[in-house]
């Protein structure tokens, strides 16, 4: 069967004295019938080429579904007299958000039902806030951007996206009557934030390049065209967001580029002072802001990099303050990367990482100031720990999430006063799952320059005992984003067929601190690619892997394209999801989404010939060459605003033309950057990809 043939229509561009010819730029015209026809032809070709995997796909979907408790609810979190939770229902894609009243204000133990039936309230007094399946009815795609209950608990502001372009519509529901207020806010990025009085909503909108550049104030009962512009950020390198401190006292506007921060705050106790700049932006200074009461005094807690690249936690008066006057609470330590801080009435929770693993640090607060400082510790070799679902400023507990590659996601409450952990729930895995059947390890590969690169790997014990196994190697390596160990029910369909799963923690990510990030961006981006190939080589040469299939998405898709060009002999297949493979074209066009804000990550090839030449040396689309490529599956979405569908479409066409590569393109025609919506749709989607991966591994026989 012959693949679709994309016509060559050369477009020539001269820049910095270099000539660049692009034969497939015509595929960018999303509204052209011939482009849609080409994408649909690619989908038909992909479906035909993978028809032999239909039975396996269905089997994997059934396995995911069979291992998942379909009717369930999340562990409730407490806020302003209610316990809030989410529900899922057998046969329904999206579920519901609910709440029940708190019956004993002194008891912070979340309620738990003895049983959950799909047609009954999960807990006494249950109120359904949003029926997400009802909201999604009639739409091919649906995403809830955010939901926020007003401080008086009477109103709910929620946002929805029904195309996948991440431009949301905010509506407001009266929780007493169930009716929608006439207020409608269009074109919002994410959700909206209430002020303390519950009279105004703050939200952000984006400019033509999809940069959140404006913050607005909407007064209830008015139309959007009367909303007040609070701040317009004109520097195209910076983006913005708005939120409220957990203490409820301050509204904050966070303004940031890749390298520089600025915060503005509005004090609800002194609104007459208006919005104030806490510390004006200073090139290269990054900081975040929260409110705490330390030693009986209102203070801002500031996480910043003034004293070192791995950040320090300091405190400052509730007033505009120079960075040199911030007082240290946790000094900079080059062995510990401080990443975030959550402030509560009685303690601070610091999110940090050391030696490639996440950690939670507790700083107790009392009348005399900061008290004991210690870690919440677990004993596994590999794990991921974080805090979330902690909305109440005065809560005595910290809600903790914990997982390993073999341990399902677990929810704990940590009592700061007694220093005890209570397991509230571990995600159920049906069908007799036993974590002891699997082993997980931290391996270390040696990169070209001698750097040691960590690998996290999980495999069934019985498969490993029999010798090397095929391995799916995942990578990302950009934006200081860390891909930490995590559990996946869908992954069991891979592991239980005798394969392994590994994560290559390559430079460009944040796993080993700011240095790890700096060594994998700008003129050091090549380290990300050579690190990944070193990991693939290590798995083969040390007896772990018989075959290696690579997978990555978005900026990790750029990683996939680069390693396919540079080390095809090490890979037996490549999955590139929403891949950023035409990086040079994108970064040469300042009008495209995210381009200008990403100059600090990739450089500006339009302004600097050296950046142009360096990006041209690794950009996947520009470096396709006549060689033997491994089979490639490229997956994208038509409505993606982050990485446009045209990038993989062009890349696939060039791979076929230049190298005769065996490459498939699969485009979701009603989705965005995150792929399809709805859990059953996403399970089918993952089953398709896993079946293709197993086929590349020689493990595609249906059971």
Of 531, 529, 564, which Cα lies nearest the Cα of 549?
564
Neighbours of 381 (CB within 10 A): 12
Residue with tokens 């738990």: 112
Active site residue 673: yes
Spatial CA neighbour of 578 closest among 661, 642, 509 = 642
Q: Of the residues 227, 640, 685, 695, which is catalytic? A: 640
Helix pair angle (54-67, 679-697), 10° resolution: 130
Contact predicate 453/444, CB 8 Å: yes
Tell me, yes or no, if 554 is annotated catalytic. Answer: yes
Which among 357, 559, 563, 537 has a CA at the least distance from the CA of 440? 357
Task: Report the alpha-carbon distance of residue 454 to residue 439 in Å, rounded.
Answer: 17
Strands (E), 68-224: 72-73, 77-79, 82-88, 96-101, 127-131, 143-149, 155-161, 168-174, 180-188, 193-194, 200-206, 212-219
Given the residues 147, 148, 478, 554, select the one marked as catalytic: 554
- Distance (Å, whole) CA 687 – CA 689: 5
Q: How many CA atoms lie within 13 A of 550 on its CB side?
A: 36
Backbone angles phi, psi at 67, to 5 degrees: -90, -10
Q: How far is CA 487 from the centre of its chain?
A: 15
The C-alpha atoms of residue 408 and residue 412 are separated, in whole angstroms, by: 13
Kindly give, in sequence order, each residue whose CB lies less than 8 Å from that of residue 386, ignoring residues fewer than 6 positions away. Answer: 351, 358, 360, 400, 401
Annotated catalytic residue within 484, 622, 673, 695: 673
Sequence-separated (6 or more) residues with CB below 8 Å from residue 437: 460, 461, 462
Tokens standing for residue 74: 């999340």
Euclidean distance between CA atoms 284 and 288, whole angstroms: 13
State the DSSP H helix or E strand holding residue 613, giving kind and residue range, or none if neither.
Answer: helix 609-618
Q: Which two tokens stand for residue 6?
A: 């994309």
Task: Enumerate the active-site residues.
Answer: 554, 640, 673
């Amino acid at each position: 069967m012959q693949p679709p043939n994309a016509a060559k229509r050369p477009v020539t561009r001269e820049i910095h004295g270099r000539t660049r010819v692009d034969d497939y730029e015509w595929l960018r015209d999303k509204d052209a019938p011939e482009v849609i026809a080409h994408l649909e032809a690619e989908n038909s070709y992909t479906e035909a080429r993978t028809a032999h995997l239909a039975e396996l796909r269905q089997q994997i979907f059934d396995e995911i579904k069979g291992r998942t408790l379909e009717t369930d609810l999340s562990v409730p979190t407490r806020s302003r007299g209610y316990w809030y939770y989410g529900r899922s229902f057998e046969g329904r894609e999206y579920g519901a958000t609910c709440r029940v009243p708190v019956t004993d204000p002194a008891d912070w133990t979340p309620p738990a039902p003895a049983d959950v039936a799909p047609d009954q309230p999960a807990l006494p007094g249950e109120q359904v806030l949003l029926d997400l399946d009802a909201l999604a009815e009639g739409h091919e795609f649906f995403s809830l951007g955010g939901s926020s209950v007003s401080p008086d608990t009477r109103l709910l502001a929620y946002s929805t996206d029904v195309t996948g372009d991440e431009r949301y519509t905010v509506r407001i529901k009266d929780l007493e009557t169930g009716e929608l207020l006439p207020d409608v806010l269009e074109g919002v990025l994410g959700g909206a934030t209430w002020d303390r009085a519950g009279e105004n909503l703050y939200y952000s909108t984006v400019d033509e390049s999809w940069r959140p550049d404006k913050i607005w104030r909407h007064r209830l009962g008015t139309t959007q065209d009367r909303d007040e512009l609070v701040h317009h950020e004109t520097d195209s390198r910076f983006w913005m967001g708005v939120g409220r401190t957990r203490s409820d006292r301050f509204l904050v506007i966070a303004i940031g580029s890749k390298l520089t921060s600025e915060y503005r705050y509005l004090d609800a106790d002194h609104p007459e002072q208006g919005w104030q700049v806490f510390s004006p932006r200073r090139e290269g200074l990054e900081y975040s802001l929260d409110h705490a009461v330390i030693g009986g005094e209102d203070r801002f807690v500031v996480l910043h990099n003034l004293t070192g690249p791995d950040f320090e936690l300091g405190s400052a008066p509730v007033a505009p303050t120079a960075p040199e006057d911030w007082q240290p609470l946790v000094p900079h330590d080059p062995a510990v990367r401080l990443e975030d801080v959550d402030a509560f009435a009685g303690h601070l929770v610091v999110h940090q990482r050391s030696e490639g693993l996440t950690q939670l640090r507790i700083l107790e607060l009392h009348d005399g100031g900061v008290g004991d400082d210690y870690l919440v510790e677990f004993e596994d070799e590999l794990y991921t720990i974080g805090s979330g679902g902690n909305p109440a400023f005065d809560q005595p507990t910290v809600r903790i999430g914990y997982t390993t590659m073999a341990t399902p996601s677990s929810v704990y409450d940590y009592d700061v006063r007694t220093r005890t952990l209570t397991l509230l729930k571990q995600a159920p895995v049906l069908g007799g799952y036993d974590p002891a059947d699997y082993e997980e390890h931290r391996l270390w590969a040696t990169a070209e320059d001698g750097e040691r690169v960590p690998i996290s790997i999980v495999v069934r014990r019985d498969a490993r005992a029999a010798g090397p196994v095929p391995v799916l190697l995942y990578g990302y390596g950009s934006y200081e984003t860390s891909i930490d160990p995590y559990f996946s029910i869908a992954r069991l369909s891979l592991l239980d067929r005798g394969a392994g799963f590994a994560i290559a923690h390559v430079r460009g990510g944040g796993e080993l601190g700011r240095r790890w990030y700096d060594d994998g961006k700008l003129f050091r981006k090549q380290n990300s690619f050579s690190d990944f190939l070193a990991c693939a080589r290590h798995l083969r040469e040390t007896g772990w892997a018989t075959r290696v299939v690579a997978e990555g998405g978005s900026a990790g898709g750029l990683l996939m394209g680069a390693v396919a060009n540079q080390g095809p002999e090490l890979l037996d297949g490549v999955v590139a999801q929403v891949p950023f493979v035409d990086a040079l074209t994108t970064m040469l066009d300042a009008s495209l989404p995210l381009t200008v804000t990403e100059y600090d990550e990739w450089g500006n090839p339009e302004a600097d010939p050296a950046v142009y030449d360096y990006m041209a040396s690794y950009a996947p689309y520009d470096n396709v060459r006549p060689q033997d490529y491994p089979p490639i599956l490229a997956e994208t979405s038509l409505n993606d605003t982050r990485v446009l569908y045209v990038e993989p479409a062009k890349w696939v066409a060039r791979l076929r033309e230049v190298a005769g590569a065996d490459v498939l393109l699969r485009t979701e025609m009603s989705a965005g950057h995150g792929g399809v919506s709805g859990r059953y749709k996403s399970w089918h989607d993952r089953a398709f990809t896993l079946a293709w991966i197993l086929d590349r591994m020689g493990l595609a026989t249906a059971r």
